[in-house]
Amino acid sequence: MRKPNGEVGSEVMETSAAPSITIASSPGFTPRLIGGQPGPGREDLTAYRGLGGYQPLAGADELLGEVESAGLLGRGGAGFPLAVKLRAVRDNGRPAGGAIVVANGEEGEPASIKDRWLLRHRPHLILDGLRLATAMVNADRAYVYVSDPDSTSSVEAALAEVGPEVFGGIAVEVWNVEPGYIAGEETAAVRAINGGPVKPTDKPPRPFQEGVGGLPTLVSNVETLANLPYLLRHGSADYRSLGTSLSPGSFLVTLTGAGRPPALYEVPHGLPFTELLALHGVSPNEVRGALLGGYFAGLLDRRVLDATLDHETLRGLGCGLGNGAIAVITDDCPVAVAASVLAYFDRENAGQCGSCFNGTAAMAAVATALRDGVATDEDVARLRRWSVVLRGRGACATLDAATNVAASLLDKFADEVGSHVDNGCQTCQVGAFVADRPYEVEAVSHA
């Protein structure tokens, strides 16, 4: 949203008792993750078992084969095949005598609500997935890693309902950290559980090699794990009945922007972007572009209207699906949106890698000057160079996210960038988009 005089804007999503917030699936299929039309509270054990939860596991190796056949991709942002991570942890753990599984629910991405919603409303679905993951890697310990107090309460209540016998005697602990953009990065999660600061570490080793307590560790997003109970009950062929060949199944979209309240939708991979807009009540004629994958994958112009929501199509357009968070840009200036996101990265980086600490600050400074109409062609050339040479540096992907935003702005919105060099952007002269956490979905709970 655009606020005159630089006033900070925010959008509010109430997730515990808020009838005004839409939680829905796209028409034509039975949702697998949101559980139909849920009530405002937490799904208890009786309700979850009534939907077929906590089914007996006949064979861990057989289920791992189904996960592999299903092509289940991670929902945390990278879209990495879950079966590859499971096999790596299992194979590394056998000679070491054990393994660890971490259900990663630390949703540091401001534009996303999906992990918190699952943790607050469907904790048993996540715990069931965690149970299956521990069996597949032969783990002897598991964690639910969170920063949201309401998620903590929900998961602890669910754990009290099932008891340790559901997990075969494996200890499951809820691990709380302070929220932050980089707190959900997998090495930051491992470092925190090991007693260190909530900051990423250099790789290698990666967690599947050496993680919590020095043991091979699977760190998997909670939405990813939430797909496992469906696979156990229905198998890989049924799982692939939705989605595309390379991006199978359904996924959760947090949709913000366009002057409307945020919403959480479950949709099949491959859904045309225009159908998501229709579900949200947004006309394609209003759309200037979108910020994709939360803040990570960068900006896309009106070519987003021709896109389908799957990893392969969006990669072909030079961006990505990421964690499924999408901010629709309508009456906001893309240059001002990019400046706000880059300023956020400047504030939120871990402060431990010089290339990231200095690089995000430099790119944010140029983008802010560009937004304010005081940047030069030389500044734009520097921003373009930084968007290339800084990529791949640092211990985590924060700097990559910043370079994605900068590069996509310069590539996809060249005319708007040019108008800002000439101080001729009519949109920003009315009042530029300025937000501390752009397109933030604020989760408000009610007792």
Per-residue pLDDT reduced to its tens digit, 12-60: 334 333 345 688 998 888 999 998 555 668 999 999 999 999 999 999 9
User: Same domain for 201 and 349?
Assistant: no
Of the pLDDT bands very low, low, confident and very high (cuts 50, 70, 90), residue 443 is: low
**Of 131, 136, 112, the residue nearest 438 (C-alpha):** 112
Whose tokens are 């929501």? That residue is 309
Domain count, the chain: 2
User: Same domain for 234 and 338?
Assistant: no
Within a domain: 284 = no
The pLDDT, as a whole number, for residue 36 is: 55
Per-residue pLDDT reduced to its tens digit, 77-113: 888 999 999 999 999 987 656 899 999 999 989 999 9
Tokens of 98: 């054990």
Domain's final residue, options 239, 255, 279: 239
**Residue 378: Cβ-neighbour burial (10 angstroms; 0-12, 13-18, 19+):** exposed
**Of 337, 336, 346, the residue nearest 402 (C-alpha):** 346
Whose tokens are 């370079």? That residue is 403
**Of 249, 256, 284, the residue nearest 341 (C-alpha):** 256
User: Same domain for 343 and 215?
Assistant: no
Within a domain: 46 = yes
User: Same domain for 211 and 103?
Assistant: yes
Tokens of 73: 């991709």
The CATH number of whichever domain residue 150 belongs to comes to 3.40.50.11540
User: Same domain for 234 and 358?
Assistant: no
User: Same domain for 232 and 358?
Assistant: no
Strand order, beta sheet including 289-292: 23-25, 263-268, 250-257, 325-329, 289-292, 298-300
User: Same domain for 190 and 338?
Assistant: no
Q: From CA 52, how far away is CA 284, in angstroms rounded?
A: 40
The whole-number average pLDDT for the span 373-382 is 96
User: Same domain for 338 and 227?
Assistant: no
**Residue 384: Cβ-neighbour burial (10 angstroms; 0-12, 13-18, 19+):** middle
Identify the domain containing residue 91 by its residue range: 42-239
User: Same domain for 101 and 224?
Assistant: yes
* 3-class SS string, the chain: CCCHHHCCCCEEEECCCCCCCCEEECCCCCCCCCCCCCCCCCCCHHHHHHCCCCCCCCCHHHHHHHHHHHCCECCCCCCCEHHHHHHHHHHHHHHHCCCEEEEECCCCCCCCCHHHHHHHHCHHHHHHHHHHHHHHHCCCEEEEEECCHHHHHHHHHHHHHHCHHHHCCCEEEEEECCCCCCCCCHHHHHHHHCCCCCCCCCCCCCCCCCCHHHCCEEEEEHHHHHCHHHHHHHHHHHHCCCECCCCECEEEEEEEECCCCCEEEEEECCEEHHHHHHHHCCCHHHCCEEEECCCCCEEECHHHHHCEECHHHHHHCCCCCCCCEEEEECCCCHHHHHHHHHHHHHHHCCCCCHHHHHHHHHHHHHHHHHHCCCCCHHHHHHHHHHHHHCCCCCCCCHHHHHHHHHHHHHHHCHHHHHHHHCCCCHHHHHHCCCCCCCCCEEEECCC
User: Same domain for 182 and 72?
Assistant: yes
Rounded to a whole number of angstroms, the CA Rg of the chain reads 21
Within a domain: 309 = no
User: Same domain for 214 and 340?
Assistant: no
Of the two residues 41 and 272, the one the predictor is more confident about is 272
Phi first, then psi, for residue 166 (nearest 5°) are -65, -30
The pLDDT, as a whole number, for residue 431 is: 87
Within a domain: 215 = yes
**Of 425, 440, 442, the residue nearest 336 (C-alpha):** 425
Q: From CA 178, how far away is CA 146, in angstroms rounded?
A: 9
Tokens of 11: 């959008």
End-to-end Cα, the chain, rounded Å: 29
Of the pLDDT bands very low, low, confident and very high (cuts 50, 70, 90), residue 432 is: confident
Within a domain: 211 = yes
The pLDDT, as a whole number, for residue 397 is: 84
Within a domain: 315 = no
**Residue 3: Cβ-neighbour burial (10 angstroms; 0-12, 13-18, 19+):** middle
Averaged pLDDT score across all residues of the chain: 90
The CATH number of whichever domain residue 356 belongs to comes to 1.20.1440.230
Domain's final residue, options 222, 239, 256: 239
Whose tokens are 């005319």? That residue is 415
The pLDDT, as a whole number, for residue 6 is: 28
Of the pLDDT bands very low, low, confident and very high (cuts 50, 70, 90), residue 423 is: confident
Of the pLDDT bands very low, low, confident and very high (cuts 50, 70, 90), residue 288 is: very high
Domain's final residue, options 239, 262, 291: 239
Q: From CA 280, how far away is CA 21, in angstroms rounded?
A: 11
Contacts of 445 (CB under 8 A, 6+ apart): 14, 15, 16, 17, 120, 150
Within a domain: 85 = yes
Within a domain: 445 = no
User: Same domain for 62 and 185?
Assistant: yes
